[in-house]
A and B are shown apart, each in its own frame.
Chain A
Amino acid sequence: MARQFSISRLPGFGAIALLTFVLLYLPIIILVVFSFNENQSQSIWGGFSLRWYEAAFDNQQVRDVSIRSLWLALVASSLATILATLAALATTRVSRFKGQTIIYALINQPLMVPEVVTGIALLIVVAFIKVQTGYTGMGYLVLAHTAFCIPFAYLPIRARLETMDRTLEQAAADLYASHVQAFRYITLPLLVPGIVAGFMLGFVVSLDTVVITEFVKSAGQDTLPTYMLGQLRRAVTPEMNAIATLFLALSLCIVTLFFLVTSKRG
């Protein structure tokens, strides 16, 4: 019997695969390794140390921006998840209507419009409102991040709703449940993994974005990524490596959780 075709036996497969992984992970590995460096160099290893982690934890500014980042991500992704859930219900639990595809596209706008364009657009609007009202609080960042997170939260929620067996909702109605009861007892509990996944995706996206924050923030509203960018313009110390490594660990945790939640009960 002839062996099944496998792309892994084509010439050059191993080399290309290796190159891809090197491109993906070598810079990150170097970053992580040098976060444990004893001396201040990014290229000469001086022995293992946690001094840059201590420095980062002792740095009041780092603590401030980290808390701001987490708070912002939490608020923005929560709001985005609620809106995305409503949007997903409105686009999957109705009879097909004209322009449904356009609605999908419109909801997914931030996925398609370059981030910098969204950033400039937000900057102009925010500047205008600032002049009119004099308000300079966190509200702008919350709104900007919420808007930016909506499509990321929307995708897994919609996917969950679309793959859900519609007969279950019919069975609930058949067993005397009202629309509200069918949603409360059947749709919502089955949607939870999608909602959690959407929330976590939104959280990570809000935590990561530099561009949106950079354009919208007022003075003293740095998030962790914009703070790090600002620091790097001055001096690159392994303290940045340490912060970046912790940041990476947090993102990895959330993404892992995301995969666990979405694969369970699939």
Chain B
Amino acid sequence: MTDIHVETERVQGHHLLEVKDLFVEFHTRDGVARVINGVSYHLDPGETLAVLGESGSGKSVTAQAIMGILDMPPAKIPKGQILYNGEDLLKMPEDKRRDIRGQQISMIFQDALSALNPVFSVGWQISETLRTRMGMSKADAMKRAVELMDQVKIPAAKARLKDYPHQFSGGMRQRVMIAMSLAMDPKVLIADEPTTALDVTVQAQIMDLLADLRRDLNMGMILITHDLGVVADVADRIAVMYAGRIIEHADVRALYKQPAHPYTKGLLESIPRLDDKGTVLKTIKGLPPNLMRLPTGCKYHPRCPYTQPICVSDEPRSLNLGNGRTSACHFAKEMLSGELG
């Protein structure tokens, strides 16, 4: 975070978006799955927060809670706040909340082929909110759709307006998705694994595009991913999630330099490297915990190579390590100083 951001923060008195101590649980026939257990993070204009974690760590559910598109039931939010410009979205009446959805905070999804409606043309889908929510005429909305498609660098945008999602390549489809999410000039863009379904070369193009758009439009971006490689170039800060908690939060550089949580360390070590030819790739042993039966103490202790008795008995609090850096590990200071591991 730069000093300018700190300044604007102080003037307005609050962040653009702030999740405070959020809990989400799913009530199913087999019991209650505690998917989010006290997540807090914040986002300011023009910055990118990467939310990193394995499948089931709760990163997408947090995003869906922000968007207000969780199916409730089975989902339930027993506790927490989601503040947008200081206003709690969870306390808003539904129609007011709907105004924010798409217009202030919008979202793009992993698989654009299934996330786009197969029976409507892309022009129709991009312009839909402009026609139905902004009251634009059909012609104006379509003109704006072409502009948006140009903005996300879809070649021959005008000619492709009437095409359907299945007629586009994977990368182009994701660009359509992005164009659609930008239609109403949102202040926050949540990208839920936007490149996971794409080829590696196309992944880089989409990430570049998102980074450019974020800068040009001065949006705040939440980038949800499980891919550490994707994060390094675009994110300002990283929040690492495990079993529904943020176990480490830090500036990208600081985190890559020295992780303050054994899980983050494990993730960084399991990235294959070109200069490590011949050595066996390190992995994190075991599986993510069952959310119906979370382990005692630190949720990571069954997989952690440094587990001590205290890890089994006590759940670590999130420890403030200065410079906005936090870690939920009993031995965070030792991790940071390099004494451990």
A, B assembled together: no
